[in-house]
Amino acid sequence: MSDDSEAVEHVGGTTITFSYVWIALLVMTGIEVFLAYEQLPTLIMLTSLLGLSVIKAALIIAYFMHLKFERLSLFLTLFPMLVLCIILMLIVFMPDSVRSLNMRVS
C-alpha cells in the first residue's frame, strides 16, 4: 500500500514506552511466580494468575503488536469474536469436567 520510501511516518510508542511495558511485563511475571508459592485456594490462585496474564496479553497486544495505534475498526473486527468464541467454549465444555469428576467411581 505504502510507497517505496524506506522511512514511513508511523504513529506509535517510543523506545522508552516499550521499555516501560517490558519492565511491567517482567514485574507481573515475578508476581505470578511469587503467587505460585503462596498457599492460596485454587480458585483465587487461578483467578489472580489469569487476571495478570490477561493484563500482560493486553499490554503486548496494545503496545508491542501496535493495536493501540491502529484503527478501532481493526480491533472490532478481530477481538469481540475471539472473546465470544472463548467464552462459548468455556460455557459449553467446562461444566462437564467438574461433572465427570463427581460421577467418578471411587
Partner 1 sequence: MSEAKAATMDSVWHGGASPYAIGSKKFGMWLFIISDALTFSALLMAYTYVRLATPEWPKPFHFSPSIIFSSIMTFCLLSSSLTMVMAVHSMNHGNRKATVGWILATIVGGLAFVGLHLTEWLNLINNEHITVSGNEWGVPLFGGTFFALTGLHMTHVVIGVIYLGIIAFAVGRGKFKYEDVEVSGLYWHFVDLVWMFIFPLVYLMSAKI
List contacts with partner 1 (CB under 8 A).
1-4, 6-8, 10, 12, 15, 18-19, 22, 25-26, 29, 32-33, 35-37, 39, 45-46, 49-50, 52-53, 56-57, 60-61, 63-66, 70-71, 73-74, 77-79, 81-82, 85-86, 89-90, 93-94, 96-98, 100-101, 104
What distance in Å separates the CA atoms of residue 16 and residue 44, rounded to the nearest whole number? 34
Which residue from 45, 46, 50, 74 is spatially nearest to 61, judged by alpha carbons?
A: 74
- Least Å from the CB of residue 8 to partner 1: 5
- Least Å from the CB of residue 94 to partner 1: 7
Crossing angle for the helix pair 42-59 and 15-36, nearest 10 degrees?
Answer: 170
- Least Å from the CB of residue 87 to partner 1: 10
- Least Å from the CB of residue 106 to partner 1: 9
- The grid coordinates listed for 100 are 465427570
What distance in Å separates the CA atoms of residue 81 and residue 1, rounded to the nearest whole number? 27
Give residue for cell 500482560.
Answer: 56
